[in-house]
Structure 1
């Protein structure tokens, strides 16, 4: 599947609910980076207000997607395309399931349905002085999960801000060290752990065994945490292909309690480093 900004930020997010609970700011102010991103989805993507792009997108906006235009031109192209499509229904459910902020980085986890297909999407934005300056993403088609209690995106969505961000981050870091060193992961995974990741479930392996498969080598680029949620942005190699790999962990009482992921192969004509 070709990676394009029009697809991941456009086609996917046309389902962003117009009534999304994000503050509708039209000028620079003191809102958080997470609120700024949610407002971007609402006003630029949902309401297609191209005239507000200069209030959200930095002139030197960097798209870590080599197949699309850089800067504001790429966002403008997306919005102009969206204007040719029917607007989302007023009662449309927002596809944004989770939003996690760590300093100048904001991660959104989306569940998108389009043309009979359902996809999990993770967007990662970097902001500076309230402006979006960089964007990364990954998209993964999902299997039919009709009737299933546990799906690729459901589970707890609200962040526990009473939880220690640094403790949550440390648990995930230590878990990955145990995977790399091929040590037992029992210290880090809760007995009632819930696996949401479609690829992990399909493998028939536990999370640690999935990550430690002989033909897989994982390289973590970023680790983003807020409260009890931790996101890893990484890459791995499998069968001669490189994949962009995002994981979301929920930590409870010092152990990993839930796990979601989105993985996407890097196209052959794209430099891997350009994706990160």
Structure 2
């Protein structure tokens, strides 16, 4: 298996940052998909318990990260590699900032800091009958945000359970429909909306998403309460990027926006990333 520095570093961050002190014995038949994913992070990634992988992951687990082998075997090989790294420190803050669940899909938004590096990660899992069947992700390096009032991952962390996920999703679907048709989309964005991506903040959300020849292709909209995750791809400078966004909706407008983008590696079929 080809383990790149970025892939190894990202897994190392999770191993180092997810506390190993969580309860190890949980009734897997009674928990939600969201809880199953969080337990997967704790026990498989954080505690490196490869022997528990069959309790979480189907045999033909589909991995959309091209740097990791397919199936349980690929995940097992990666975790075994991570066992060669220093053990994770105790009592550190979890990097998991947000978790969004819609039926069989679970999205996690992570802020990982390790060995002087800082990254934002969005993971997407698909489950069936309580077992992980597919995984997608994107990893984006972050600038030094110490002392900043707004960072790449701060802001509201919990979905509003009283908000309608369907209504929230309709707002973002209509927003993107307007952008792709070249229509005015200003009314979708609240006057006091918060942009968490410094690059996007510099240009403005609408100009950033409306860049000529961006070649946007939308793949998934996943919503819980007032949160909506958009999985898409776009073109820039002759490269294809995977793009994961999280929107928070308030009063039928965009109130907050987070995003992670990652270039598709050379030689990789773009469709394999989705």
Give the deviation of 1:138 after TM superposition: 0.5
**What SS does the corresponding residue of 1:187 show, helix, strand or coil?**
helix
Aligned length: 271
Is residue 2:31 matched to residue 1:12? no
Match of 1:115 in 2: 115
Residues 64-213 of structure 1: pairs in structure 2 closer than 5 A: 64-201=64-201, 204-213=202-211
**What SS does the corresponding residue of 2:216 show, helix, strand or coil?**
strand
Give the deviation of 1:199 after TM superposition: 2.7
Deviations along 1:40-83, one digit per CA (max 9) or x if unpaired, are 00011111111111000100100012232111112111221222
Aligned mates of 1:83, 1:137 — CA distance in 2 = 22
Aligned mates of 2:27, 2:117 — CA distance in 1 = 36
Give the deviation of 1:2 after TM superposition: 5.1
Give the deviation of 1:160 after TM superposition: 0.3
Give the deviation of 1:215 after TM superposition: 2.9
Cα root mean square deviation, aligned: 1.7
Aligned mates of 1:147, 1:182 — CA distance in 2 = 38
**TM-score (normalised: structure 2):** 0.94
Give the deviation of 1:137 after TM superposition: 0.5
Aligned mates of 1:275, 1:25 — CA distance in 2 = 33
1:133/1:5 CA distance change after superposition, 3 Å? farther
Aligned mates of 1:273, 1:4 — CA distance in 2 = 21
Match of 1:42 in 2: 42
Is residue 2:54 matched to residue 1:59? no
Structure 1 residue runs of 5 or longer lacking an equivalent are none
Aligned mates of 2:191, 2:203 — CA distance in 1 = 15
Which range moved further: 39-48 or 10-19?
10-19
- 1:3 and 1:67 in contact (8 A); partners too: no
**What SS does the corresponding residue of 2:203 show, helix, strand or coil?**
coil
**TM-score (normalised: structure 1):** 0.93
Structure 2 residue runs of 5 or longer lacking an equivalent are none
